[in-house]
Structure 1
Amino acid sequence: MLDYQEEITCLEKHLLALAQPPMAIPNTAVFTQNAYCKKHGSYEQRIREFNVISCVASHSTCPDCIRDKIAALRQAQQENDKRLSEQQIIRLMQGLNLPPRFQSATLNNFEPINQEAAHCLKVCQG
């Protein structure tokens, strides 16, 4: 099974190929026709027929549907990356064995008790 990035790359190559003239393949013929996508409307569809077996043909997909799929895959990849990052943070935090009283401590709720602590907080917050 392809991962998100591999599938995105494959679809981008397919989209790029549709923007170029059709590649010449021996014993095949390519022609175009207007096709209709229920979501995006009309587009130019490429059909490649095999000269040896005329009943076998490949049809190109709506380019806008391909773009939509790429966008959806990118979104899914970002969500997956975020989920994995959150899981990694949880694993790391569990491995620290912090006492319960410090588990909710962050830079946002840190209260400096002197000038040096305030300076350190500013440095850490960037």
Structure 2
Amino acid sequence: MMPKEIIEETTITSWEVEFKRDINSYSLDVTTTYPDESAEDSTSIQYFRHIRNSISHSKCTYVEKNNKQYVIFKDENPGNNSQRCEIKMPTSDAGRIMEFLYQKMMIYLNNRWKNR
């Protein structure tokens, strides 16, 4: 994970839009109390922000259920602990998301490097 300050918000937003076009191919179980987000509307969730925060604050857990492995990302607003998001997914989907982000970050960094 990279510090959130390295990549412009508009870039992250464009990645999120691209990711959400394929959102139905993932098995995501989301609970959120953040304003403007709804578990019933998967496109309203800011997945990358929540996953990034969860990883950077060590709020990830792995669980097994019915011989299947899952990762749970938990994000909580430190200024308002009533705002929480929990994203549970199979570890295979977590790997797909990380691969998607890795590819986007490498393209982004390589373009920044050559434009110096």
Higher helix share: 1
TM-score norm. by structure 1 comes to 0.30
Higher strand share: 2
TM-score norm. by structure 2 comes to 0.32
Larger RCO, structures 1/2 (Cα 8 Å, 6+ apart): 2
